[in-house]
Amino acid sequence: MRWIACAALSAALLVVPMVGCASKGSGVDFSSAPTADLTGSRKVSVSGEEAWEHAAREEDRALLSSKKPIEGRWALLYVNGLGCPLCATNIDQQLERLPGVEGVRVDLGSGTVQLALAEGERRLSPMDLREAVADAGFTLVKVTQK
């Protein structure tokens, strides 16, 4: 009897997570979203693997402390520490919970995150984004908007 209960629970544990795994950004068309401009970033080789290490200029750092709302439809975040796909979802989730975020797309290759921002809602500031990225356990180095 106990093993029937265990088997039923196992099945439930495996099925339930499959439901509701769709990302908030799944309905957003990201084709006009800004893509990573990596001219300010450094390509480093770690144990044979090349990865982008984002660096911030003085004005980039100043912008991250700004509470001025982001204008435009898109924001592009340059993030350090995105070491694994499961970690990437952690950042997805923190950003998706912010008001006014319509969609999130993480690019592990360039270490960037595209954000689709809804029109007419409370506008997020770079500081809001910096805090959300830190909540997820990563470091926001730079943010650009379009």
Partner 1 sequence: MRIRLIAAAAAGCLAPIALGQEAMYTQAATMPGPGSWILRTQMHFIRYGENPVSGETREDVVEWRNAVQVGLARALSLTVDVPAAWKRSESPSGREHAVGVEDVELMLKYRVYMDNPGGIDTTRVALLGGAYVTSGDSREFASQSVNPHLGGVITIVRGRHGFNQDLLYTFNTGGTPGKNNGGEGPDDALAFNTAYVYRVFPERYTSETEGAWYATLEMNGLYETNGDTELRWAPGFMYEGRRFGFEVMAQFPLWNKLDERAELDFAVGFGFRFLF
Q: Which residues bind partner 1 (CB under 8 A)?
A: 2-3, 5-6, 9-10, 12-14, 16-17, 20-21, 23, 41, 44, 46-54, 79-94, 97, 107-111, 134-139
Residues with Cβ within 8 Å of residue 112, at least 6 apart in sequence = 36, 76, 77, 78, 79, 106
Least Å distance, CB 7 to partner 1, is: 10
Least Å distance, CB 127 to partner 1, is: 15
Residue 31: both structure tokens together: 């084709």
Measured between alpha carbons, how far is 8 from 11 in angstroms, rounded to an integer? 5
Measured between alpha carbons, how far is 54 from 26 in angstroms, rounded to an integer? 27
Closer residue to partner 1 in complex, CB, 63/88: 88
Positive/negative CA dihedral, 61, 62, 63, 69: positive
Closer residue to partner 1 in complex, CB, 94/125: 94
Nearest to 72 by CA among 34, 28, 113, 31: 34
Least Å distance, CB 119 to partner 1, is: 26
Closer residue to partner 1 in complex, CB, 54/70: 54
Q: What is the dihedral of CA 75, 80, 86, 89, to 10 degrees?
A: -20
Closer residue to partner 1 in complex, CB, 68/146: 146
Closer residue to partner 1 in complex, CB, 55/68: 55
